Structures are given as structure tokens and as C-alpha cells.
Structure 1
């Protein structure tokens, strides 16, 4: 399988919001030893990163690197609306922990101009010997990058690609066509198959923490030219995703991992803790879609 599959890594939190180190290590091991993913995307939306203090982010990067070692590819998402924090995290993960690839979400909230966005990315990579993958997720950031914007970002040789979490398939096709040598990792799990058809290099997603086997089978079917099998798997996946979304995305993925014997912990406030009804529904989802 030439296309790579990355889990957008969850963080296990204790009930009081502190990091559950044992649980986080278990999530890492589950992804490596059971899911057999190619890599982990650490510190992204799925890791509840944007609700964390700098020291907590550093600790999570440290735990994951210590547990995973060089077993799989690791991508550290260091982006922040605070550029100095982003630079500090980039320096820490690369120079202190040995991450080889970093990623950064587009700076959000203040409607930054594109020259400001480009400055942000150039500054993050300026003083570190690492490659950077732009994290484009306009549904959550409100920041939409155009084809020409990407072209200007890619002028920096350290910026090697994009985590493309976007339903704009016209832009995706144009990106692939214009930048055949840049890495495009697709971030919308429920639309993996059409993204594969447009030539993405792989995928990063939250549901791969529990659904990696299906995603890998779908990629294998696609690469073998068995489009009907790939489509059937995508239908199954989307039934699962619909059920997860209807019950609460991050809470439910953590509950599913609990059913798999992984200490996935709680979500961080102000995300709410799962209700008894959510727990019951999650167990039903597990029995229907994931239990062997």
C-alpha cells in the first residue's frame, strides 16, 4: 500500500482535565500495534490541542515520542494563534524530541491577511531543521487558502505539503494537478474515496483511531482497481461515522476505545463528559460496527 494512513491522535485526560499519561500511551500503542497505522498526527484538533497550555502540549509531544519512538511517522502540530508559542513548540519537538515533520494550523480568528499567514509559516520553520505540512481546515478556522496562496507558501522549500481537511474537491484536484511533488494528506474521513480518486498521498483522521482496518482495506481495494469494494467499504465507514457524530464525536471515539480495552479517558472541559445514554449508544455502535 503506497498511500499512508495516519491517526489524528487523541489525548487521554483524567476527569479533572489533566493528562492521563497511561491512557495516552495506550492510545499510541493501540494505533501502532492493533491499527498498524503508518503514522500519528499529534496535537491536532482531535487531541483537543487548542484548549491546552504550552507546558501540557509539550508533555503530550514528549509522551508520544517516548512511546512511539521511530516505530511510525510522527507529525507534530505546533500551530497556534500565538506565533511565539508555535515557534517555541517547533523548536522543542524538533531539537529536543527529534520530530522530523511538523504541521501548523492556519492562524485564525483575526481574519489575517495572506501576507500575514505566509509570514507566520515562514517564521515557524525558519529556525528548525524540519519539514512543515500546512494544516488547512477552513470549516473550523474560517481561513480558506486559494491555489495561488498555496503556490506562494510552497515557495518555501521546507513547506512540503498540506493536511487538507476540506470538502472543496475542485481545489483539491487543482492542487494535485499543479503540485504533483507536494504531499497532500486528506483529512475528511467520510470522503476518503473521492479524495483517493484525485490522487492524495494518504489520509489523516480522527476515526482511524477505531476504524483504521476499514480505511486500509478501502485504500487497498482502490489501489487494486476494485472500485465497487472500495465504495462498499466507504458506505460502511460512513454508517459508522454517522452513528459517531450523532452521539458526540470525541466522546464517542474515546468510549469506543474503552470498549476495545484502551484507557482513552475523558474529553477536556468545556466539552462535556459522556452521559449514561451516550455510553450505551457507544457500546451499541461498537457491537454493530467494530467488534470482531
Structure 2
């Protein structure tokens, strides 16, 4: 992937759509994709944390990825498949399937039960996973808050290319903004570092982020598009105000349990992605109504509507 073709703009970390009984509902994916396209989102990052990847079987993940590629074909929407797994062989199989299905890139996080103790061990784990997708661009998914694996990403960028020639960059969901700057600058900007913290997007932009992956871009892309537009015009007061709106929205959802509440918002917007799988807690009917009331009684509901 050349510098000119790197991912830019908002990349939505999509929800896994479920029926009420918890089974996968592939019929909703066209609505999800259409909503992203209408909102000006550049790409879909499928089967990641927001997509409850570790609560899905391998066949379910393959089916979801395949359907996203089918739906996105012929549209501006690109598809990145997360293939990470605690089992190296399953991750490699997911990578191979994603390449066959026609995704634009793959990504994988570190194993989180038996954890790599250093960068070299992380690279040994990821090498056959990335190789499973041939020359397809590979992004390491750094999210220490979920995996418990906190290793130097600059060391990773220095050492990994010799073993992972298709390494293109990092999906950087890590609160260390000092290291984020270092990764962006590494090798003269050689790698594509996708910013992964929605509540701090403005900070990422100031450091030079061009692409950002986030769950709230599914339902709140208008906020972030206004933020980016204000930033590009050097209207930093407006950009800060929009960022604060996103923080307020995400804090509200977190009160109810973020993942389930985010899916509830999607349903309110006419995209019925369903509930969450255990061990995530489902919203009760009363919680759903309370969330809807608090959203619509504030300026947050208007903030996420298309302009």
C-alpha cells in the first residue's frame, strides 16, 4: 500500500449484527454499510472489538467479513478485516479467508490469554497470520487496555518488517500519545498509523493522524466530520467543542454499558444491529427507554443527525 493509497478519514469499527436470540443476522449488513456511506465514512473495520470478535466462531467471522465485502463492492466503502485470535492457526485461516473474499487489508491484535512477553515473541506470533493474507496490507492492532499486552510500538516497527513484509501500519488504540507521535514519525512516516481513540481524535489530528478507527463513527460520524472540517479550517474552538460533544455522548453510553448502549443507538437510528453476546450485559427495555430519553432530551440527539 503506497503512501498515496493509505486509509484516510473515518473508519467505523462495525457492530456484529445479531437476531434477538443472539445468532448472526447478515441481513442487517446492507443497512449498516449504507449508513456509513451516507455519513461519509471511508471504511469499515469488521470483526474487531466493537464487532465482538472473541464472542464469534471462526465461521461466523468469515461469514460476516464475506457479507461486508459483497455489500461494499462497487461503493466507495473499503473493508478491513480483523483476524486476530488467541489461536495462531485460526488467525492465519481467517487472514487467508479474508484475502480470498477481497478485503482491502487485514489487522490482528496480540493474543491475550498466553501473552507475548516481548516484541520478538509478538512478531513470531503474527508472522504466519500476516503471511496468510499474502501481500495484502497488514496492520497490527495495538489495544493494551483490552489485551493486557503493552509493548514498544517503535521497537515493533523497527523489527517487524524483516519478518512481516506486508506490515503497513498500526491500528493504534493506545492512550500513549507520546509514542503515537514517535510511530507517525518512524522511518520518515513510513507506516500508516490509524488513530483509535474517538474521544481524543482532535489530539490525534494535531499530531498528524490521517485515518481514524472508532466505534462511535457508526452512529456519530456527523460530530467527527464537523470536528475534522473545523480542524482543517484552523477553527480550533469549534473543533474542541465538537470533541467535547463526542466525549459527553460516549460517557452517557458508558453509564449503560458502552457496547450494548451503542447498539441501542444504532437501533434508534433505524439500523437494528440487535443486542450483545454474553459476557457483555444486554440493556433492559427500561434502560433502552432511559437512554433514548436522555439522548433526545439533550443536544446529543441532534448532534448525531445527518446535516
2:168 aligns with 160
Per-residue deviation, 1:24: 3.1
Match of 1:224 in 2: 233
1:135 aligns with 2:141: yes
Question: Retained in 2: the 8 A contact 1:254–1:264?
Answer: yes
Q: Which residue is equivalent to 1:148?
A: 155
* Residue 285 of structure 1, CA deviation: 4.1
The number of equivalent residue pairs is: 289
Unaligned 5+ runs, structure 2: 1-6
Following TM superposition, by how much is the alpha carbon of 1:68 offset from its aligned partner in structure 2, in angstroms? Answer: 1.5
CA distance in 1, matches of 2:175, 2:285: 33
SS in 2 for 1:46: coil
Q: Tell me the CA shift for residue 273 of structure 1.
A: 2.1
Are 2:12 and 1:4 equivalent residues in the alignment?
Answer: no
Pick one of 249, 256, 259 that aligns with 1:247: 256
Which residue does 2:57 correspond to in 1?
53
Partners of 2:294 and 2:105 lie apart in 1 by: 35
Aligned with 2:179 (options 160, 171, 185): 171
| TM-aligned CA distance change 1:19 to 1:6, over 3 Å | same
Tell whether the 8 Å contact from 1:254 to 1:265 is kept in structure 2 after alignment: yes
Pick one of 96, 100, 104 that aligns with 1:100.
Answer: 104
> How big is the alpha-carbon RMSD for the aligned residues of Structure 1 and Structure 2?
1.6
Indicate if the aligned counterparts of 1:7 and 1:205 stay in contact, CA closer than 8 A: yes
Matches for 1:1-292 after TM superposition, within 5 Å: 3-33=8-38, 35-71=39-75, 72-95=77-100, 97-113=101-117, 114-127=119-132, 128-146=134-152, 147-155=154-162, 156-179=164-187, 180-287=189-296, 288=298, 289-291=300-302, 292=305
Deviations 1:237-290 (Å, cap 9, x if unpaired)? 111111111121111111111111111211112223211232122212442312
**2: CA distance, partners of 1:270 / 1:14:** 17
1:283 and 1:54 map into 2 onto residues whose CA distance is: 34
- 1:1-45 Cα offsets, whole Å, 9 max, x none, are x94110000011112221012223322221123x22000001100
TM-score, scaled to structure 2 = 0.90
